[in-house]
Amino acid sequence: MSSANDLSYVHPSPTSPWGTYLSQVDRVRPYLGKLDRWVETLKRPKRALIVDVPIELDDGSIAHFEGYRVQHNLSRGPGKGGVRFHPDVTLEEVMALSAWMTVKCAAVNLPYGGAKGGIRVDPKKLSITELEKVTRRYTSEIGLIIGPHADIPAPDVNTNGQIMAWMMDTYSMNTGATATGVVTGKPIHLGGSLGRVKATGRGVFVTGQEAARRIGLKLEGARVAVQGFGNVGSVAAELFAKAGAKVVAVQDHTGTLVNDRGFDVAQLSEFSRTNGGIAGFKEGAMVSDDAFWDVPCDVLVPAALEGQLTAERARRVTARLVLEGANGPTVPEADDILAERGVLVVPDVICNAGGVTVSYFEWVQDFSSFFWTEDEINQRLDRIMVGAFENIWEKSARHAISLRTATFAVACERILIAREERGLYP
């Protein structure tokens, strides 16, 4: 999707990321009451910036990359959301991701709005020097709208603590003072928080544990399938294994592994980190990627990219519980099919909110220059995630609606109350 037609989001495909988000908003409207008069606020990003990112490559040639930063809603606080480097990044995708961040932050009651950023680039084709140049130029270009009190980026797909360090340094050099709070997910010695790297995966496990308990699914001996084996999928898998579950299927960009007896997840994680993927790990059989969706399991964790759980795949899923570790992995039609089949889906906007919650902790610690232990981080994270899940579960039960619609109902009410109380200026 080129920049020439990026504004086609006005009438998006129903299965596109933005189309999926708009469908989710429409489903929550009956539960907004008088706040429905403000619903268009949710369907329009507040601000979208498209930037050119030119750099000189190692061979002396000049390359141009297209970058984005979208602030969907700032009614409840500064924008918050990651930055992804991926060859398929589009404005419409970034818009949807920023909107889901708005809902996610409100669902766990963090004082943030939603934002997201990205560059259409394949970072695997860049040298470390070129990657730094891309990061710094992009940061300079979006520096107009980011800041510790305006919009706080964080890592996402193909970005990490080093990328955040370069972003923080670039912003700080341009403003003339060290601003550790401009990004989260930084290295520890630059103001990063303990527990941040594992926070999203931990949140998936905590919400999964709460959901499993409520549907009578014992985790000990439960079969778990995980799509995506990065920070989110691998951490969630490790925690499920520690709880006595068997991780029987794992898929990443290098292939799909199945082991009916259950993997030694710690060994698989170490192998994946060392070898750049799970392909070649000896304790399992490689199968086709499509066969992943047929593996008998009790818990399915889609923790890769959006749009993976299609209607066709939803008809094949054997799990009783789906935990959305990725953003937007389930298309609306698949949501309906899973509901009809009695499969409980814990939606991304609560399930993977552990990352932004600990990002909030990092931001707070940076302002106070007082840092917490990892045990304190995890205790605070668990308390917030469990409390938010309980509130959403009660809303779902009271109105006989899905957890996704209940999460949107809780979050959108908070967002639109803030919009209404602030009023319109001028």
Q: Which of 43, 46, 104, 116 is catalytic?
A: 116
Contact 135, 114 (CB under 8 A): no
Is 282 catalytic? The answer is no
- 227 forms beta bridges with 251, 302
CA distance 294 to 5: 37
Identity of the residue numbered 264: D
Lay out the sheet containing 344-346: strands in order across.
285-287, 255-258, 246-252, 223-227, 299-302, 321-323, 344-346
- Report the candidate in 420, 416, 415 with the shortest Cα–Cα distance to residue 107: 415
- Assess contact for 171 and 146: CB atoms under 8 A: yes
User: Helices 403-422 and 374-399: crossing angle, nearest 10°?
Assistant: 100
Residue 43 structure tokens: 């369907």
Rounded Cα–Cα distance for residues 398 and 215 (Å)? 16
Token pair, residue 4, equals 């020439």
Q: Which residues are catalytic?
A: 116
